Amino acid sequence: MSKTEEGQHKQTDQHDSDSTMSKESKLLAACYAGDCSRVKELAEQGAEIFITDETGRTALHFAAASGDADTVRFVIEAGIPWNALDIGGYTAGDYAETGGHDAAYDALVQAGIRAEMVLRMLNQKSTMDQAANEDYLSQPVKYSGDRLVDAEKNGVMMSWEAPLMELHAQTICSKPGSSVLNIGFGMGIIDTALQALKPAKHVIVEAHPDVYRHMKDEGWDKKPGVHILFGRWQDKMDEIRALGPYDGIFFDTFGEFYKDLDNFHQSIFATGDDVEKKTPLLCKPNGVYSFFNGLGGDHKLFHDVYCHIVKADLLKLGVDTQYSQVSGDADIDEDTWKGIKRPYWMLKAYNLPTCTWTQESS
Ligand SMILES: C[S@@+](CC[C@H](N)C(=O)[O-])C[C@H]1O[C@@H](n2cnc3c(N)ncnc32)[C@H](O)[C@@H]1O
């Protein structure tokens, strides 16, 4: 036994030597000490693993805080969900990260990826996703100052994202005269940034009637080279294709889910024998695609899991995804989320995706 292991056992022993302690308290103490064999032993003796302390921390939170990846894996295999939150809204990933425990954090990310893959296989039907988008589109939205909000005070778009949109615009439009496609106008921040980069053709797809009206009020329909397609992107694919192919594509909608993003990726990248798929939407080989990467944006662990999943899904379509980290909270202060139902971004680093065809694709 190494010195550290010896120390750990001592720590666990000290913690659970008290005969008045329940088996469950001993189990949490062993998790916190990262003493995997003791955790197993207690579980075999019948200690209930699905317990929490008074702050809602699960055995997984304690295991993650210890930094011991084996304990983390054991506790997950025993059934504690990888994405459990304590009362304060913290994931086990937050505990691992605070302690600087990379291996434990990685074990959580891997568990998250596996769990999401299983869910995906089980969840064959997802009509729910579309209902959410249709609900949003049938209710009014309002522009007020630095934000666009829906009827339930959700932030549809907010001006703190402007520096990120500038970077996204530069990513998909590297030279004047390009042909670009943007899905979702919102506050027109990325479209304004794209216009400054002088594209020859600039196609914008927008589904919300109030946003469409706002676009026309602002004269977007009169700008040279700009084509507005009013409707859901799902219903506009033929027109989008007829105006393509594009040097750059950006995707940022609202009220949609990962499944929709994945469907969009299938639409632009899937190749096959039928005529539609023979002509890719994104120019080959140099076209660049990017999307607003707010996936799981309220918890770093969830976000990291989604970053892996989307990258793997795109790779299956012959697309390489590189993330560049930029500060994602530079323009967020304590007033940013005032009056907004749910802050949708709580992370410090934003992973800006640059997606390109892989070299081997023709
Ligand atoms: C987050 S905002 C886009 C913000 C934009 N990137 C900007 O820089 O201001 C999302 C926009 O997508 C639109 N939208 C939502 N669902 C859509 C869909 N299925 N097809 C097209 N547009 C959609 C919303 O109405 C909203 O205007």
Q: What is the average per-residue pLDDT within 338-353?
A: 94
Q: How confident is the model at residue 273 (pLDDT cuts 50, 70, 90)?
A: low
Amino acid 131: pLDDT: 57
- Is the CB of 67 inside a 6 Å radius of any atom of ligand 1? no
pLDDT over 80 (residue 146): yes
Q: How confident is the model at residue 128 (pLDDT cuts 50, 70, 90)?
A: very low
pLDDT over 90 (residue 289): yes
Q: How confident is the model at residue 4 (pLDDT cuts 50, 70, 90)?
A: very low
Q: How confident is the model at residue 28 (pLDDT cuts 50, 70, 90)?
A: very high
CATH code at 128-357: 3.40.50.150
324 CA distance to ligand 1 middle (Å): 23
255 CA distance to ligand 1 middle (Å): 9
Edge-to-edge strands, sheet with 248-251: 226-230, 201-206, 179-183, 248-251, 288-291, 349-357, 319-327
Q: What residue spans define the domains of the chain?
A: 3-122, 128-357
Please tell me the residue having the least CA distance from ligand 1 atom 13: 184
Q: How confident is the model at residue 3 (pLDDT cuts 50, 70, 90)?
A: very low
Q: How confident is the model at residue 132 (pLDDT cuts 50, 70, 90)?
A: confident
Q: What is the average per-residue pLDDT within 99-105?
A: 98
Amino acid 124: pLDDT: 46
Q: How confident is the model at residue 328 (pLDDT cuts 50, 70, 90)?
A: confident
204 CA distance to ligand 1 middle (Å): 10
- Is the CB of 165 inside a 6 Å radius of any atom of ligand 1? yes
Q: Which of 338, 336, 205, 347 is nearest to 268 (CA)?
A: 205
Q: How confident is the model at residue 331 (pLDDT cuts 50, 70, 90)?
A: confident
- Is the CB of 156 inside a 6 Å radius of any atom of ligand 1? yes
CATH code at 3-122: 1.25.40.20
- Is the CB of 92 inside a 6 Å radius of any atom of ligand 1? no
Amino acid 111: pLDDT: 97
Range in 15-24, 80-89, 167-176, 261-270 with the lowest mean pLDDT? 15-24
Q: How confident is the model at residue 276 (pLDDT cuts 50, 70, 90)?
A: low
Q: What is the average per-residue pLDDT within 82-108?
A: 97
User: Is 128-357 in the same CATH topology as 3-122?
Assistant: no
- Is the CB of 261 inside a 6 Å radius of any atom of ligand 1? no
pLDDT higher at 303 or 362 = 303
3 state SS for the chain: CCHHHHHHHHHHHHHHCCCCCCHHHHHHHHHHCCCHHHHHHHHHCCCCCCCECCCCCEHHHHHHHHCCHHHHHHHHHCCCCCCCECCCCCEHHHHHHHCCCHHHHHHHHHHHHHHHHHHHHHCCCCHHHHHHHHHHHCCCEEEECCEEEECCCCEEEEHHHHHHHHHHHHHHCCCCCCEEEEECCCCCHHHHHHHHCCCCEEEEEECCHHHHHHHHHCCHHHCCCEEEEECCHHHCHHHHHHHCCECEEEECCCCCCHHHHHHHHHHHHCCCCCHHHHCCCECCCCCEEEECCCCCCCCHHHHHHHHHHHHHHHHHCCEEEEEEEEECCCCCCCCCCCCCCCCCCCCCEEEEEEEEECCCCC
pLDDT over 50 (residue 125): no
pLDDT over 70 (residue 122): no
Q: What is the average per-residue pLDDT within 1-20?
A: 50
pLDDT over 60 (residue 234): yes
Amino acid 127: pLDDT: 41
Q: What is the average per-residue pLDDT within 245-250?
A: 97
Range in 56-70, 147-161, 285-299, 324-338 with the lowest mean pLDDT? 324-338
228 CA distance to ligand 1 middle (Å): 13
Amino acid 223: pLDDT: 98
Amino acid 1: pLDDT: 36
pLDDT over 90 (residue 197): yes
pLDDT over 80 (residue 345): yes
Q: What is the average per-residue pLDDT within 239-251?
A: 97
Amino acid 141: pLDDT: 97
Amino acid 6: pLDDT: 43
Q: What is the average per-residue pLDDT within 209-227?
A: 98
Q: How confident is the model at residue 7 (pLDDT cuts 50, 70, 90)?
A: very low
- Is the CB of 264 inside a 6 Å radius of any atom of ligand 1? no
Amino acid 119: pLDDT: 79
Please provide the average confidence, as pLDDT, over all residues in the chain. 90
